[in-house]
Structure 1
Amino acid sequence: MDESKQQYLEPRDDEVGSHEAVIDPVAERKLVRKLDMWLSPMMVLVFLVAYLDRSNIGNAAIAGMSEDLGLDGDKLNVAVTLFYVTYITFEIPASLILKKARPSRLIPFFIICWSAVVIGSAFMQNYATLLASRLLIGAFESGLFPCLTLYLSTFYKPIEQARRISYLFVAAALSGAFGGLLAYGLTGLNGVLEGWRWLFLVEGLISILVGLGCIALLPDTFESAWWLNDNDKKLMRIRHEQVALYQGENELFDREEVKLAFQDPKVWLSAFCQFCANTCSFGFSTFLPTIIRGFGFSSVRTQLLTVPVYIWASIFYLVVAYVSDKVRRRAFFMSPLAIVTAIGYCMMLGIDMDKTAVLYFATFVTATGIYCCVGLNVTWISNSNAGYYKRATAIGLQQTVGNSAGILAGQIYRITNSDGRYVIGHAVSLSTIVCASIGYATMFFLLRGINRKREAMPEDEKRRLIDAGARGDRHPDFRYTT
């Protein structure tokens, strides 16, 4: 092997015989760029079609589906809610079986199954079939996000994860923009099928293609990634060993780690914050078309007006996630941005409905913090739990509790004023995002306190804990990202 290629594999002179080797930062940056080039586009595409298929019910509803299926009263709200009933049921099991079931098989299985249901939704004839389709889509989408988050954590170091996980939420936001454009183009079609049916059919076919592509392109681990050469894989092994040594990673299933995740109050606090932020995220992404139409716009124009809101949210979140990784701070961004979103809800609650332009601007203010709070909180819990099965359980638990917010979000967006204002929806969302902001601040002070306590810990106490088997995030040298 060329000597220059070996430099990041050699042990340091002062640590000969140790498990730690020098990593050439230039080689590592090239490796991370290669991971980004291959993994990130696939992850973005997968999550984009997932959110597209999940939230297209909002676009379809204002394009004639409500009338064709007789969705009077609260029927649309019930259909939105039922998605989350099955969605939250299978998240923890899916994250725990990911390694054994193999990512290259389990993730495409989820995609192809829900895509088939979406295609079938194009031929729904009544309310009952709508409910059945939402339950099935929820079941098959349930494991996707915790599995993708866990999957990315096996390729990237903790300090690299915020920006990569942010791509998933950027995809969620972009799905709204893409969905609006598709709805604008497809819902105008008629003939063999009504426009809203074309929307389900085309989006389902797109998702099927993505699922088939994942079978061919998604590696189970870095060892099976055909786009990494031998030197890349050697460097990945060093990175993996360093993380495993520091965080106590265990390749074998460990029930004790699963138990520790359920017993950790920090996991439950994170899950509570996720529930609060997701109440806003799910309500906003599903009902934005109906909210904007309530400002007085036509259905066709509404589809287009949703696009700039999602593009703004995507760009802003990318910037925040990048800076968050650079400065290694989470709550510093999350708490203030939650308040920005709260201001947006206050605007939509308090501004006169005849001030259309200002109300539309309020949707941008609202969107500013939503995806940042939801996405950074997922990164935060991934960074704050080690080893593998504690992290897998913590992510699954956070997502199960957090995504149960969809049940609430599906019920609160109903017109309660004669002027078409969604008072209950905006008021509940305002309350929950403020609670989330307080929760993020609480988590910050809690984790900072633990870090300071460990920094002041005497060496003999550290040794005692290590000898007693402290590992993962319980290890005295582990530091939480705040």
Structure 2
Amino acid sequence: MDVESTPKLAAKDHAQINQLEKASIDDDGTSHASTMYIDPVAQRKLLFKLDMYLSPVMTLIFLTAYLDRANIGNAASAGLITDLGLVGNQFGNAVTLFYVLYVAFELPCSLVLKKFHPRRMIPALMFCWACVIIGNGFVKNAGQLYACRLLLGAFESGMFPCLCLYLSTFYTPGEQAVRISYLFVASALSGAFGGLFAFALLKMDGIAGLAGWRWLFIIEGCASVVVSIVIYFVLPNNFEEARFLTEDDKALMRLRAEAHARYNGKPQFDWAEVKKALTDPKLYISCWSQFMGDTCSFGLSTFMPIIIKGFGFDTVTTQLLTIPIYLWASGAYILVSWMSDRYNSRAAFMLPGVIVTAIGYAVQLAVPQANRAPLYFSVFLIAPGIYIMVGLNCTWLLNSHAGYYKRATAIGVNQTLGNCAGLIIGQIFKDSVGGKYVTGLSVSLGAVLLAGVGHSSLWVLLRHQNAKREKLTPEEREDAILNGKGGDFHPDYRYTL
């Protein structure tokens, strides 16, 4: 059962919520509204328990995924390109190929998550990509590297949309920004840990006749196998099967779900819900912003070690210098996500992120490559802004689509189209001028500004929709309900702005 809520309800402080509206419709079409009491103290305790259990599990899953995905950048700075004899843009092609199957399988994965059960599907995907990562440590040429990157993309494709969708079945929209932020924090921490692990594992260079970058893949792959087994035993399919919840907790979860049942849609798969999502213009505005944000995000996560090394640092120093950037980005993003939930606002926090990130890219382009300090500082401006834009955009999307299969379709399409940005990353960062990736940085600057246009456009559209619903007469409201206006099209649904 889903936990759905209108942003209007979610706007209240959970400590003050004592009544939730429940709507019902008689056979004659008459609409009724009643209220049900939810103990605010019990709800706070429930949310604390959910956070203490689910957040570490979600973070561990996503941390593992991003470590395995992004370690190719660390490997490249440590000798992969030379050892495999890559020439021209073959490394960039390897980066690009990851996204070919990645984008192809995101929507299907999100739609079949409920059918195949999260507890089975998510660990199975993890186990498969872990085996691919281990194999990546034994590749001998560009062709084998390409094959590994394709398979890795296929198995990692469903991870983010499935985890976002999974979290939306436990938390209401007004509770989701900070919880989804943990996934992006995991990706940021993967950069920090990736640099730390690379620093340690590269010291294994020559052991058993293998280069240090090969050990980087092998050991991280073996660790991911272990994590996948652990996740199978600790991840519940839904709150009804969650062993960490008491019967009183589950009763409260049912009450939360029942209070918002009018937005849930049908429990079984329904192509009409898929069609609703695919014909909803706000989905494509979100996809536009996601594509632009992901262009920056993928460039940062994949090429940051190479960019920093271009400032004139050696390999070991480069790995270490990535760590504080990701730690800072993590802390800043958690704070902004918490504030976004606290004030029930998305665009007000995303647009400043756009401005700060644009300033960072402008510094990267304007300052000569020899000036290490301002160039390194500019990365501290770029990193948190990217996570804010991309992360809150995903949360905003989930808040703007209801019931379950409309939301599943929306997050799948959003990630599919957004992650198509990965197809161009290896091409725009392929050439450097005096050690500076001018084309890649210029495209990223433009993408940030275009993402801001998308955020602003979505805010205008949703504000207009909310205003229209506020002006509905009781007769118009009843007519909309009788005509099947459900999910986020229900006349009582209010979009988060």
- TM (normalized to structure 1)? 0.95
Instruction: Flag the 1:261–1:10 CA change in 2: closer, same or farther, 3 A.
Output: closer
Look up the match of 1:240.
Answer: 257
Measured against aligned partners, the alpha-carbon deviations of 1:321-370 in whole angstroms (never above 9, x if no partner) come to 00000000001111121121111111000001111111000111111200
Aligned residues of 1:289 and 1:302 also touching (Cα < 8 A): yes
What residue in structure 2 maps to residue 76 of structure 1? 91
1:258 to 274, 280, 300: 274
Distance 1:260 1:18 in 2: 26
Match of 1:161 in 2: 176
Q: Which residue of 2 aligns with 1:381?
A: 397
SS at 2:53's partner residue? Answer: helix
Give 3-state SS (helix, strand or coil) of 2:78's partner: helix
Deviation of the 1:416 alpha carbon: 3.2
Does 1 or 2 have the higher relative contact order (CA < 8 Å, sep 6+)? 2
Separation in 2, partners of 1:98, 1:68: 40
Distance apart, 1:244 and its partner CA: 2.1
| Kept in 1: contact 2:19–2:35 (CA 8 A) | no
How far apart are the structure 2 equivalents of 1:203 and 1:445?
Answer: 45
Structure 2 SS opposite 1:21: strand
Aligned residue identity for 1:474: F
Whether contact under 8 Å (2:67, 2:191) holds in the other structure is: yes
Q: 1:396-448 CA deviation, whole Å, 9 max, x = no partner?
A: 0000000010011121112331x111000000000011000111011111101
CA distance in 1, matches of 2:483, 2:77: 61
| In structure 1, C-alpha distance between the alignment counterparts of 2:20 and 2:165, rounded to whole Å | 30
Residue 439 of structure 1 pairs with residue 454 of structure 2: yes
Q: CA RMSD in A?
A: 1.6
What is the aligned partner in structure 2 of residue 345 from structure 1? 361
Query: What is the rounded CA distance, in whole Å, between the counterparts of 1:416 and 1:177 in structure 2?
Result: 25
1:52 maps onto 2:62 in alignment: no
For 1:386, what is the secondary structure of its paired residue? coil
Question: Which letter maps to 1:261?
Answer: A
Which amino acid in structure 2 is aligned with residue 352 of structure 1?
Answer: P
Aligned to 1:99: 114
Is the 2:20–2:38 Cα contact (8 Å) retained in structure 1?
Answer: no
- How do residues 452-463 of structure 1 correspond to structure 2 at under 5 angstroms? 452-463=467-478
Corresponding position: 1:216 with 2:249: no
Counterpart contact for 2:18–2:40, Cα < 8 Å: no
* Structure 2 counterparts to residues 333-482 of structure 1, below 5 A: 333-417=349-433, 419-482=434-497
Counterpart residue type for residue 169 of structure 1:
F
Query: What SS does structure 2 have at the residue aligned with 1:404?
Result: helix
Give 1:282's aligned residue: 298
Cα distance in 1 between the residues matched to 2:456 and 2:312: 38
1:63 aligns with 2:63: no
Q: CA deviation at 1:19?
A: 6.8
Equivalents in 1 of 2:123, 2:35: separation in Å? 36
Provide the TM-score with structure 2 as the length reference. Answer: 0.93
Deviations 1:289-309 (A, max 9, x none): 000000110011100000011
Identify if the C-alpha distance between structure 1 residues 446 and 77 changes in structure 2 by more than 3 Å, giving closer, same or farther: same
Which amino acid counterpart does residue 155 of structure 2 have in structure 1? F
Change beyond 3 A, Cα 1:230–1:405: same
2-structure distance, mates of 1:222, 1:270: 29
1:194 aligns with 2:211: yes
Q: 1:19 to 1:207 in 2, by over 3 A?
A: farther
Once the 2 structures are TM-superposed, how far is the Cα of residue 468 of structure 1 from its aligned partner?
Answer: 1.1
Which residue does 1:179 correspond to in 2?
194
Q: Give runs of ≥4 in structure 1 deviating > 3 Å.
A: 8-12, 17-20
Identity of matched residues, %: 54
Cα distance in 2 between the residues matched to 1:9 and 1:119: 52
- Give me the whole-angstrom Cα distance separating, in 2, the residues matched to 1:84 and 1:11: 43
User: C-alpha distance in 1, partners of 2:65/2:260?
Assistant: 31
Give the unaligned 5+ runs of structure 1. Answer: 1-7
Q: Distance in 2 between matches of 1:416 and 1:169?
A: 29
Per-residue CA deviation, residues 238-278 of structure 1 (Å, 9 max, x unaligned), is 11112222x13321111101001110110011001100000
Instruction: Supply the distance in 2 between the matched residues of 1:412 and 1:157 (Cα, whole angstroms).
Output: 39
Aligned length: 470
CA distance, structure 1, for counterparts of residue 452 and residue 85 of structure 2: 40
Cα distance in 1, alignment partners of residues 101 and 79 from structure 2: 26
Which residue is equivalent to 2:309?
293
